[in-house]
Amino acid sequence: MKYRIEIPEPCHEDWDKMTPQDKGRHCDVCDKVVVDFSKYSKRDIINHIKKEGKICGRVPRQYVGINLEEEKIRKSFGLNGMVATMVNLLALTTISTAVAQEKPKVEQQSKALSKSSKSTKLLKKETFVLKGAVKESGRKGLGGVLVQVKGTSYTVMTDDIGNFELKLPVTLDRENCVLSCLKDNYFAEEVRVTDFDNPIDIEIYKVKLFVEPSVTGKVTIKEVCE
C-alpha cells in the first residue's frame, strides 16, 4: 500500500515563536500542539497519522506530496504453513523409522574430525555482508555517506559512486534493523531493512538553502491506488 502525505493549507505562523513541548511546539493562535516530525522516518510519520488522525504537524518538505510505500508486513504462518509443516514432520517420521530399522553399515567418524568440521562451519557463518547503494534523489550514486545500523557501532562509508558493503554479525536483530544515512547538507534518512539477500537502494535529499526545510499545517495521509 502506498500513501501520500498532504498539507492542503500550510500554516504561516512562525515556528520559532511557538512554545516548545515534548512532541513539538504549542501554537498560541490555534491553541494546539504542533507535532515535530523532522526526526521521524517516513514510515513513522505514516503510522503516527494513521493512529492519531488529522493533526497539526511540521513535516520535512521532501515527504509532502510524494507517494510513500508502507513497509510490507510479514505474513502470518497461516494454513499453508501448517500443512507444509505436517508434511515435513510426516516425511521425517518415515525416514527416522526406516533408519532405526536398518542396521549400521559404517563406523562413526572420529570425534576430533567432527569437532573440527563444526568449528570451520561456525567461523564461516559468524558474519554476513549487507550490500546497497545511496543516491541523491533523482540523481546518480552519492559518495561519502555514512551508513550505520541504528543503535549500533556498525558503520561504513559509501564509495565514490555510492555503493557500500556493511559487514554484520549473524546474531544481528534482523527484525529491527534500521539503516541511518548521514551526510553534510543532506537530510538524515532512516530505512528499515526487510531483505538481507539483495542490495538495498536508498535515496537521500539535499537541503535547499534559503528554502524552509519543513511544512507546518494540518497533516493528512491519502491512500494511493496504482
**41-100 residue pLDDT tens:** 778 888 888 888 778 888 887 777 766 665 443 333 444 444 444 545 455 555 455 545
Closest CA to 166 of 176, 179, 156: 156
Note the pLDDT of residue 139: 77
Strands 178-182 and 214-224: unpaired
Q: Is the per-residue pLDDT at 169 higher than 90?
A: yes
C-alpha cell at 182: 548521514
Note the pLDDT of residue 93: 54
Torsion of CA 161, 165, 166, 168, to 10 degrees: 170
User: Which of 80-84, 143-147, 222-226 comes out lowest in average pLDDT?
Assistant: 80-84
Contacts with 168 (C-beta within 8 Å, 6 or more apart), sequence order: 127, 128, 129, 130, 149, 154
pLDDT cut 70: percent of the chain above it: 69
Give the mean model confidence (pLDDT) for residues 6-33. Answer: 86
Note the pLDDT of residue 144: 92
pLDDT band at residue 186 using 50, 70 and 90 as cut-offs: confident
Note the pLDDT of residue 74: 37
How large is the C-alpha radius of gyration of the chain? 25
Backbone angles phi, psi at 117, to 5 degrees: -65, -45
Closest CA to 60 of 28, 44, 37: 37
Distance, CA of 14 to CA of 147 (rounded, Å): 34
End-to-end CA distance of the chain: 9
Are the C-beta atoms of residues 214 and 58 closer than 8 Å to each other? yes
Note the pLDDT of residue 96: 52
**Beta-carbon-side half-sphere exposure of residue 148 (alpha carbons within 13 Å):** 11
Backbone angles phi, psi at 42, to 5 degrees: -60, -45
210 dihedral zone (left: phi>0; alpha: psi -120 to 50; beta)? left
Q: Rounded to two decimals, what is the model's pTM?
A: 0.42
User: Which of 51-65, 74-88, 118-132, 137-151 comes out lowest in average pLDDT?
Assistant: 74-88
